[in-house]
Amino acid sequence: MIKHANFTAKRKRKESMRLFAFLTAGSVLALVLAGAPALHTQQTNPPATQTVAGSAIIAVDSSALWPRPIPSASSRHVLHLGDIAIPYVATWSSILLKDPAGVPQATMSATSYVREDVHDRAQRPVLFAFNGGPGASSSPLHFGILGPSRLTNPDAKGTRTLVDNPQTLLDVSDLVMIDPVGTGFSRELRLGGGNAYWSPSGDSKAVQTLIRDWLRENTRTKSPIYIVGESYGGYRLAEMAKDISDLNVAGLVLISPGTDLSGAAGNDQHFVLTLPSMAAAAYAQGKVGGDGRSLEQVFEEARTFAQSDYIVALQQGSELSAQDRDRLAERMAKLIGLPASTIAAANLRIDDQDFLEQLVPGKVVGRIDTRVTAPRPDRPLVAGRPKAADDPALHLGASNVIKNIWVRDYLRNEIGVKTDLDYLSLTLNVNFAWDWNSGSHNLEDTLRNLNPTPNLAKLMKERPASRLLLISGYYDLAATVLYQRYALTHAGIPLDRTRMVAFAAGHSVYEDNDARTGASKELHDFIAAGTNVPTMK
């Protein structure tokens, strides 16, 4: 499970929040930079010289700051899905975010796809989507499953190509892919201009502004709305949920979300919610399941144990006898693939990173995809950075900025965006600038504010026709399946309007072909069940 805030020490809390950011950013890296292609694209730009008002010349780092908005751009296309031809308009645009005095501070951008052969556009669904980070663009969702074009996996030379996407949602919904401040082509307009939007509250309000502006400007305020949030994007969606009941929200989609950060790092609940995903990792690495059991059976056996005998034992603390501890350690060894002696020595509580480093001798297992391994490094790639950032499934390297040349060229050449900027898939500079402060010195308020999951329940109560879909990956040890489900089932979410599914995949569920097909079907069924898809012209 994601490391949680520890309020007994402020330093621990900040490190936990930073680690969460690293983990959720994996949804970008595992998809956009799978196989670490084109490593040169990870370098940040050198400062560029620009002319500003009064002919003053200043140095601007274009990966962080760009002092002038980029003009909107649109183009027409036709997507061919078998015998079906879908004409659509692709538009890139941005909004100005202003301070209370009306001074522009930053831009937030989105790429939208609107199907043209629609008879009753007011009844056609609109799907808004964003990834996590904080500091991640929408490129994984955009070019991995939702958009009309999909980026292929890299070939032997690291080259990727854009192909028609048969799993796109454009056939049943118009799409708006949102890049928060500091990601994609979205930038600060002035130094410090992004600070107001680099917090849960400021970020939520900025995204809401974009959504409301888009609906108004496109005359779609009556359209059924679906919102997809992946990873930290799930937290963002839960934060937004308290303010959007006036919108025609038909459905909420959470993909590998982290919605509750209020627990203490290393508490017993953490180990309970993590154990089944450790069993899935052991299955992936051939440590368990050789008796013919399926992944789902291995996971379910571990879940049953974790939520019964295991949690009862953990709650006894130091009162648990050595005999009972050793007996349970033997049972756990058969579930998660570590020696019983190692488990007993850890008092039945195996740290996530220790598990990843010990499961396969001489190697480290990926946190965001436990099917991935690499030789265990002797030292961190960057001194002082959490080990989670060196996740072999993350492909982060030592850079803080990941750029995507294929998305950049697509937006410039296919849609016509006129800019020389790089497209930022991920920037840890935004991540490091993120302000998690709840605005209150009261401990209870702070804990409550770090768990916005109940906002989802409140929104679904206020919108009684709305539904929720949770999509998870069994091989995700960053935001484990049981952690995600626990957060929802303990927040008052109406379960009769909620569907929870998991696939044999990692944090970026749709990175695998089979899982992508399955997730696309879930999304199509989810939209079809909640809306009357309008007839075409």
CA 524 to chain centre: 20
Structure tokens at 169: 């949602």
- Dihedral angle over CA of 328, 361, 374, 144, nearest 10: -20
Cβ neighbours, 10 Å, residue 86: 19
Q: Residue 485, SS3? A: helix
> Which H helix or E strand runs over 16?
helix 10-32
Query: Average pLDDT, stretch 404-411?
Result: 95
Determine how β-strand 424-427 pairs with β-strand 401-403: antiparallel
Residues 6+ apart with CB under 8 A from 433: 194, 195, 198
Q: Over the range 221-238, which residues count as b (16 or more CB within 10 Å of their CB) and which as e?
A: eebbbbbbbbbbbbbbbb
Residues 6+ apart with CB under 8 A from 7: 13, 264, 443, 446, 447
Structure tokens at 328: 């349970």
What's the pLDDT at 2?
33
Spatial CA neighbour of 92 closest among 466, 378, 314, 418: 418
Contact 129, 146 (CB under 8 A): yes
The predicted-structure confidence for 72-124, as pLDDT tens digits, reads as follows 999 999 999 989 999 999 999 999 999 999 999 999 999 999 999 998 888 99
Bridge partners of 184, per DSSP, are 424
Distance separating alpha carbons of residues 71 and 336, to the nearest angstrom: 53
What's the pLDDT at 439?
61
The predicted-structure confidence for 184-202, as pLDDT tens digits, reads as follows 999 999 999 999 999 999 9
Is the peptide bond preceding residue 67 cis, with omega within 30 degrees of 0?
no
DSSP for residue 232: H
How many percent of the chain have pLDDT more than 70?
85
Where do the domains of the chain lie, and which CATH numbers do they carry? Answer: 10-262+404-530 (3.40.50.1820), 268-350 (no CATH)
The predicted-structure confidence for 496-533, as pLDDT tens digits, reads as follows 999 999 999 999 999 989 999 999 999 999 999 987 64
> Is 412's pLDDT higher than 90?
yes
Q: Three-class SS string for 414-445?
A: HHCCCCCCCCEEEEHHHHHHCCCCCCCCCHHH
Query: pTM score, two decimals?
Result: 0.88
